[in-house]
Amino acid sequence: MIGGAVEDQPDERIVRAGIASDDAHESVSLVLQFETPRSATGVKDKVMVLLPLVEEAARAVDLDSALLMAVIDVESAGDARALSVQGAAGLMQLMPATGRLYGASDRFDARQNIAAGARFLRRLLARFGNLELALAAYNAGEEAVRRFNGSIPPYRETQQYVPRVIEQYERYRQAVLALRTQPGRAASGTQRSPTPFVETADASARRR
């Protein structure tokens, strides 16, 4: 992510795994401490293990747990110890100011990190009103989205980030659905699925 989590603190950047850039919109090399080489199957397995914590955080803010899992997949590949060169840490790659603002005193603690990231993402969804812009703000910062008149900033990293998370979102929706339909799972009291955020930036712009 290249944008700040706190709008009046532009130097506080939430730098995201694999696709981040700085204010000059140049790619930033990230140092991520993955336990195993990234593969689609391996990462998905690591993220799915987090489902109880993700569901807990998702319930608290009425988000689809699959959306949080998609962000975790893209941000850290499910590595709770992931650390960027800019200081973004943990599963949802929170900067220090963002962690403090949303209640994560230890950004490497999986429960705290996911809960804080969920609260942050919920606020972005409430502010921008659609998934694409919320993800763009998560990656490039709220100020960047506002600067480009409420559209996805034309940064290569952000242009790649948004569809990548949305693609993973669908994968995890299917995976979570399959898990919930297993015998005995429905009675466990797990999270219902909120209505997914599917409105696009173009649709939002047409309403303005």
Q: What are the residue ranges of helices labelled H in the chain? A: 40-48, 51-61, 65-76, 96-101, 110-128, 131-140, 142-147, 156-180, 201-207
Check if 132 is active-site: no
Placement of tokens 């490497």 in the chain: 108
Residue 35: how many CA atoms within 13 Å on its side-chain side? 10
| CA dihedral over 109, 91, 72, 172, signed as positive or negative | negative
Neighbouring C-beta atoms of residue 176, cutoff 10 Å = 21
Q: Single out the catalytic residue among 55, 75, 132, 142.
A: 75
Which residues does the annotation mark as catalytic? 75
